[in-house]
A and B are shown apart, each in its own frame.
Chain A
């Protein structure tokens, strides 16, 4: 083998080649980085199914005003599906295994239906991480928790509050804010019906909402922790009896249209047929939208309490969930978007400004804008003040995949017969639970 010495010229040549190679390699690295960056900047379109226009407006505002600064490449396509069709369609695509959205806005009381079998949403626990401590569990995560994991994130604190007609009551010399217990309110109710043609409140006969709210407020439930039905417990019988007595004593009328979701209910509200009503903060939107001319007539107060139980109860609400059919490239931006909506001060405040609903993200509560917000519909009261106070002792109903079957059975076998026909509460609740056991 011949040995060849490296001349200076050769060395320089080699060094030059090496330098050029390194430079090329560096350029290639830069090019690769640029290509990756470009890939990251690729357009990502999130497909969402939603049903509530107020939430869609809020989410689009977050995307436009907050999210697009950090994620200019992400766009949101919202398919608005009527409330009644949304759940059948979701169920169908989950059973089919394809055709679903990346993200869905799911109503609290419906999402449990999807927990039979493999949950079709991604668990969010790891992603929420330490921020769990910043959330009102009962509204943000509790309703979406299944077997220890959270599958959705709710943005609004849905404490049930009470509302009353300040103008009509003050004319009668009645203080609508007085009384802290349901027993106190019986006396107020007697004053109302004694001094006017109006009833104290309207009791639904076509919905179990009030029964569940009163029962859960008292510490009861439709199901125990092991998902056994207890909707015919002594406490439930007593609670349904309390509602029946309200109607039979003339303190309450049956809700026109069956409950507070019917148009005719708001006609009766405008007509002054009842002077008190209860409901979560989203009912405030129903009241305002249906009877804007009643601005200034209503006031908010805390829910009266039973001798046992809690100050308030969580009712309703909607959360954002990522479906397992979400396209891979959308999952990360989706979570970033959910975070922007629910776990940032700006997103939460935007939601409050647009929807008048107090966010579940508690750090945002420190913002003065919450307490400074006054609502002229409620005589310039601060709705947030009441929600904050009620959230201190708010309880959440136990729920499971069979909840809807129980609610249907209670509605048919108990609420209607007891409230309309004066049927025996115990026999009716027993019949409802018996039918539930057969159908579950």
Chain B
């Protein structure tokens, strides 16, 4: 028979130990469940991100032993690499095309889809979303045929109308507009759905109140609807700008890389060319890091401007 002291110790320690284990379990078990993801994330995302920064500080050409060069790759990129500068200009032009062409078209389409006068809106919405979910590879291959100079659909149409064929894919002057057209086809529909969601979240009472005050439909749109779409506009513009600077598949496949005279050279294509075609891995990594910094800066500026617009 246990003594009274021992009994009280068992009573004291039993539940306590039980409590301690429960507490431990509560804290640890979630991490055990998360571990598979965290391990994979650490190995395949965090480690490469950190390691590629160290690679960017090295001259690492193909199978040559790598050599530490400090910030040389970055200095060279910023001060001397005209192709990198050209790629940034191209991405900026494409981004402007995104903002000034895609946005109005997307918004116009969203307003049309929001109108009760249009029938089969659900089917139309689905149809406009299809380009977004179509593989960029497939779309680019189809556009290669559409824009082909001799046998392409568009030049066939122009020819029927009596116009000269346009070298959509092989002229340095026309290449960027061609790419912007492909961008419009890909993203206008999906962006319009974002705007549509925004339009449908605007309380009807606000518009009614404006109309009762004598506002025309344009004034209702300009002074009520559009300002209330600011969060959606910010989101779409941000996505568009990030997408413009990280565009890869369309220019790469349509123009076999960078197009005539680098007319559609994009930063990511340049990264690929330097990193994987020329096997300058250190330089390629530096392009990646610098591009990340640039995208963060551009997005930050754009968000600040949007905030100013809001206030």
With a cutoff of 8 Å between Cβ atoms, the chain A residues found around residue B258 in the complex are 412
Nearest CB of chain A from residue B150's CB, rounded to whole Å: 5
Nearest CB of chain A from residue B281's CB, rounded to whole Å: 7
A412-B261, A412-B262 known; A405+B64 contact, CB < 8 A = no
**Do residues A117 and B260 form an inter-chain contact, with CB atoms below 8 A?**
no
Most buried by A among B80, B261, B279: B279
Most buried by A among B63, B81, B151, B258: B63
**Do residues A114 and B62 form an inter-chain contact, with CB atoms below 8 A?**
yes
A116-B64, A117-B63, A412-B258 known; A420+B149 contact, CB < 8 A = no
Contact among A117, A273, A405, A420 with B278 in the assembled complex (CB-CB below 8 Å): A405
**Do residues A91 and B62 form an inter-chain contact, with CB atoms below 8 A?**
yes
Nearest-CB residue, chain A, relative to B64:
A117
With a cutoff of 8 Å between Cβ atoms, the chain B residues found around residue A254 in the complex are 149, 170
Contact among A88, A118, A264, A416 with B276 in the assembled complex (CB-CB below 8 Å): A88
A412-B260, A420-B260 known; A273+B150 contact, CB < 8 A = yes
A264-B150, A420-B171 known; A91+B260 contact, CB < 8 A = no
Instruction: State A91–B272 Cα separation when bound (angstroms).
Output: 14
Q: Chain A contact residues (Cβ within 8 angstroms of B): what range?
A: 20 to 34
Contact among B144, B169, B170, B281 with A95 in the assembled complex (CB-CB below 8 Å): B281
**Do residues B150 and A258 form an inter-chain contact, with CB atoms below 8 A?**
no
Instruction: State A148–B47 Cα separation when bound (angstroms).
Output: 40
With a cutoff of 8 Å between Cβ atoms, the chain B residues found around residue A264 in the complex are 144-145, 148, 150-151
> DSSP majority for the B interface?
loop
Nearest CB of chain B from residue A27's CB, rounded to whole Å: 52
Nearest CB of chain B from residue A100's CB, rounded to whole Å: 12
Is B114 part of the contact surface with A, judged by Cβ < 8 Å?
no
Nearest-CB residue, chain B, relative to A267:
B151
Instruction: State A118–B150 Cα separation when bound (angstroms).
Output: 47
Nearest CB of chain B from residue A91's CB, rounded to whole Å: 6
Interface mask (B272-306 → A, CB under 8 Å = 1, otherwise 0): 01101111010000000000000000000000000
Is B203 part of the contact surface with A, judged by Cβ < 8 Å?
no
Instruction: State A295–B151 Cα separation when bound (angstroms).
Output: 23
**Do residues A421 and B172 form an inter-chain contact, with CB atoms below 8 A?**
yes
A116-B63, A417-B172, A420-B170 known; A257+B148 contact, CB < 8 A = yes
With a cutoff of 8 Å between Cβ atoms, the chain B residues found around residue A438 in the complex are 80-81
**Do residues A256 and B149 form an inter-chain contact, with CB atoms below 8 A?**
yes
Nearest CB of chain A from residue B67's CB, rounded to whole Å: 12
Nearest-CB residue, chain B, relative to A118:
B63
With a cutoff of 8 Å between Cβ atoms, the chain A residues found around residue B65 in the complex are 117
**Do residues A113 and B62 form an inter-chain contact, with CB atoms below 8 A?**
yes
Most buried by A among B83, B169, B170, B258: B170
Q: Which of B150-190 contact A (CB under 8 A)?
A: 150-151, 167, 169-172
Interface mask (A247-284 → B, CB under 8 Å = 1, otherwise 0): 00000001011100000100110000100000000000
Count of residues in B whose CB is under 8 Å from the partner chain: 32
Is A347 part of the contact surface with B, judged by Cβ < 8 Å?
no
A91-B62, A256-B150, A401-B62 known; A116+B261 contact, CB < 8 A = no
Contact among B61, B256, B279 with A258 in the assembled complex (CB-CB below 8 Å): B256
Instruction: State A420–B169 Cα separation when bound (angstroms).
Output: 11
Instruction: State A421–B261 Cα separation when bound (angstroms).
Output: 10
Contact among A267, A408, A413 with B273 in the assembled complex (CB-CB below 8 Å): A408
Interface mask (A118-134 → B, CB under 8 Å = 1, otherwise 0): 11100000000000000
With a cutoff of 8 Å between Cβ atoms, the chain A residues found around residue B83 in the complex are 435, 439
Is A206 part of the contact surface with B, judged by Cβ < 8 Å?
yes
Contact among B62, B149, B150, B169 with A117 in the assembled complex (CB-CB below 8 Å): B62
Instruction: State A257–B276 Cα separation when bound (angstroms).
Output: 24
**Do residues A404 and B148 form an inter-chain contact, with CB atoms below 8 A?**
no
**Do residues A116 and B62 form an inter-chain contact, with CB atoms below 8 A?**
yes
With a cutoff of 8 Å between Cβ atoms, the chain B residues found around residue A117 in the complex are 61-65
Is A205 part of the contact surface with B, judged by Cβ < 8 Å?
yes
Nearest CB of chain A from residue B8's CB, rounded to whole Å: 63
**Do residues B63 and A404 form an inter-chain contact, with CB atoms below 8 A?**
no
With a cutoff of 8 Å between Cβ atoms, the chain B residues found around residue A116 in the complex are 61-64, 279
With a cutoff of 8 Å between Cβ atoms, the chain A residues found around residue B169 in the complex are 258
Q: Which of A321-345 contact B (CB under 8 A)?
A: none
Nearest-CB residue, chain B, relative to A405:
B278
B interface residue numbers (CB < 8 A to A): 61-65, 80-81, 83, 144-145, 148-151, 167, 169-172, 256-258, 260-262, 273-274, 276-279, 281
Task: List 12 A-B pairs, Cβ < 8 Å.
Answer: A95-B62, A113-B62, A116-B63, A117-B61, A117-B62, A118-B63, A206-B256, A256-B149, A257-B144, A412-B257, A412-B261, A421-B260
In addition to A118-B63, A206-B256, A417-B261, 20 A-B residue pairs with Cβ atoms within 8 Å of each other are A91-B62, A91-B276, A113-B62, A116-B63, A117-B62, A117-B65, A254-B149, A256-B150, A257-B144, A264-B150, A267-B151, A268-B150, A268-B151, A273-B150, A408-B273, A412-B262, A416-B172, A416-B260, A420-B170, A438-B80
